[in-house]
Amino acid sequence: MDIPYTVKDRPDTGLYNGKLGIWLFLASEVMLFGGLFSAYVFLRTGAESWPTGADILNVPLATLNTLFLITSSVTMVMSWASLKLKEFDKFKLYAGLTLLLAASFLVVKYFEYTAKFHHGLFPSTNSFLGIYFTLTGLHVLHIIGGMIVIFFFWMPGAKMWESDPDRFTNRIEIVGLYWHFVDLVWIFLFPVLYLL
């Protein structure tokens, strides 16, 4: 006996298990980042003074990073679409591009962080930097986590395409949903931290 609805949709809900699972996980992630955003709002509103993001942070670099992530979201959904069209090579290409763009994001972040440290700006320096490093740091951890999973499906896990293509396609859809969420968080992080 196999667990039902791992690949096929359950008729009354129209969902397969993994899709519901990942959306529930994303709901919890909304609350996780929400907790940090709530802390940001609380601290900023209660603060006597608060710096403008652009005065301390590098807006052009972050804009570039935003474009990297948005593009990686496109390549991620294209990798799924390629599988739906049974074009495995295109999947590999797009998934690889996604990883490349994600890595580029991390490289930019590395330069951003080290530049801050070089100028003596640390999380402990003030509340703004504290919440900046924490929010972007947690986001970076999520990017790394996503990259590990995408890499797994890009390389060793790709053999599931041979044995169970529909299930593999669903897994890529699920990973994609996670990845888009990570992009979504950045879409809010960027203006809040850098532009306001």
Partner 1 sequence: MSTDHHKESIWTKYIFSTDHKIIGLQYGITSLVWLLVGFILMMIMRYQLAYPGNPVPIVGNLLGEGGIIAPEMYNSLGAMHGTIMIFLGVVPLAFGAFGNYFLPLQIGTIDMAFPKLNAASYWMYFVGSIVMIVGFFVPGGAANSGWTSYPPLSVTATMGQTVWLLGMVFLITSSLLGSINILVTVIQLRAKGMTWMRLPIFVWTQFITAFLLLLAFPPLEAASVLQLMDRLVGTSFFMPSGLVVSGVVQNYTGGGSPLLWQHLFWFLAHPEVYVLILPAFGIITEVIANNTRKPIWGYKAMVYAMVFLGFMSFIVWAHHMYITGMGTSIGAFFQTTTMIISIPSVVILTTLFLSLWGGSIRFNTPMLFALGFIPMFGIGGLTGLPLGLAAADIHLHDTYYVIGHFHYVVAPGTIFALFAGIYYWFPKITGKRTNETLGKLHFFFSFIFMNGVFMPMFVQGLAGVSRRLWDGGEIYAHAADVLYLNEVMSISAWLLGLAQIFFIVNMIISLRGKKTGETNPWGATTIDWTDTTSPPLGHGNFETVPTVYRGPYEYSVPGADKDFTPQSEKG
Partner 2 sequence: MADLTPEEIKHHVKTYVIVFVALAFLTVVTVAISYLDLGVGASVVLALGVASVKGALVASYFMHLIDEKITIYWTLLITAAMFLILMLLPLGNMLAQTKI
Which residues contact partner 2 by CB under 8 A?
Answer: 7-9, 13-16, 19-20, 23-24, 27, 30-31, 34-35, 37-38, 41-42, 45-46, 54, 59, 63, 66-67, 70-71, 73-74, 76-78, 81, 84-85, 166, 170, 173, 176-177, 180-181, 183-184, 187-188, 190-192, 194-196
Query: Which DSSP symbol is given to 117?
Result: H
- Stretch binding partner 1 (CB under 8 A), from 11-19, 82-90, 147-155, 184-192: 11-19
Closer residue to partner 2 (CB): 86 or 122: 86
Q: Residue 95 or 172: which CB sits closer to partner 1?
A: 172
- DSSP string covering 49-107: ----HHHHS-HHHHHHHHHHHHHHHHHHHHHHHHHHTT-HHHHHHHHHHHHHHHHHHHH
Q: How many amino acids of this chain bind partner 1 (CB under 8 A)?
A: 39
Spatial distance between the Cα atoms of 181 and 65, rounded to a whole number of angstroms: 16
DSSP state of 9: P
Task: Report in angstroms how near the CB of residue 77 gets to partner 1 at its nearest.
Answer: 23
Residue 60, CB half-sphere, CA atoms under 13 Å: how many? 0
Contact between 78 and partner 1 (CB under 8 A)? Answer: no
Sign of torsion, CA 142 129 109 188? Answer: positive
Neighbours of 154 (CB within 10 A): 19
Give which of partner 1, partner 2, none residue 1 binds (C-beta under 5 to 8 Å, depending on kind): partner 1
Which residues contact partner 1 (rule: CB under 8 A)?
1-6, 10, 13, 15, 17, 20-21, 24-25, 27-29, 31-36, 38-39, 42-43, 46-47, 122-127, 130-131, 134, 138
